[in-house]
Every structure is written in C-alpha cells, then in structure tokens.
Structure 1
Amino acid sequence: MEERRRGMTMFAAELVATGGVPPEHDVDSVADVLWLAMDARNYDWLVRTRGWSVERFQRWYADTVSAAVLA
C-alpha cells in the first residue's frame, strides 16, 4: 500500500509540475485521488463482483480521476 502511495505521489508531482492540473490542486491532494481510485479493491468489486468489463472499468477510472483532478 505504501509503495502504491509513493508511486501515485510521484505521478501527482509530475502532473502538478507540468501544469497538468489546476493550480489549486497540490501534490498531496492529487496523490490522494490517484491512490484511492487505483485501489485494487475497486477493480475487484466492479469487474469481478459486479461484472463490469475491463474497458468499462478503464473508462470509469479515467473519467473519475479526470473529473476529480482536472476540474
């Protein structure tokens, strides 16, 4: 879990540094969204338990993260 958090923090730092997110978002808040959305349990619940296709999950992930981070 900590390794995933570190990875999401690195990704968030890159997004913030390159201007990929609005200035009101800091690295920690972006990392929180990425970390939460990337939790493997989300995939398990939606794809394995609820029967979503992998493609639908990927769209959900991209749409959810974009809306939370880029809005």
Structure 2
Amino acid sequence: MYLTNKLNIETNLTVIWYKTEFDSSDYILIEGVNGKDLYHLDLIELENDVLDDYKFDKKYVKLINGEVIELKF
C-alpha cells in the first residue's frame, strides 16, 4: 500500500523494481531523478551513477539526494 500511495500522490519519483534470486520483489524509490535518464543504463552504470554506495542490501528503500532511508512496515 505504501508504494501504491506514493505513486498516486508523488511527483518526480522514480521506482526501480527488482527481484533477486530466492527472494520476493524489492523496490527503490528515488526522488529528484528523471527516470527517462536512467532507462538506457545497465545495472553497473545504475549502481555507479545513481545509487552510489547502495548495493541492494535492504528490502525497501528510498533515496533522497543520495541518502538511503530504509522503509519499515
């Protein structure tokens, strides 16, 4: 529900939705980044250019100006 609500009310929000092997789907919410600019990036470029030090080690996160905030439900 959190993700659905955010997608309905937020602007300038990009979602990276991914699934790792043997786990359920996870997502990263990124504020202030144009998703169209990310579309051409492969995973390595995405990690280096957008995610900085974040390495998919938390279930649900929000990135605001490079700061990782883990979402707890």
Provide TM-score, normalisation by structure 2.
0.27
Select the structure with the greater relative contact order (CA < 8 A; seq sep ≥ 6).
1
Structure with more helix by fraction: 1
**Higher-Rg member (1/2):** 1
Structure with more strand by fraction: 2
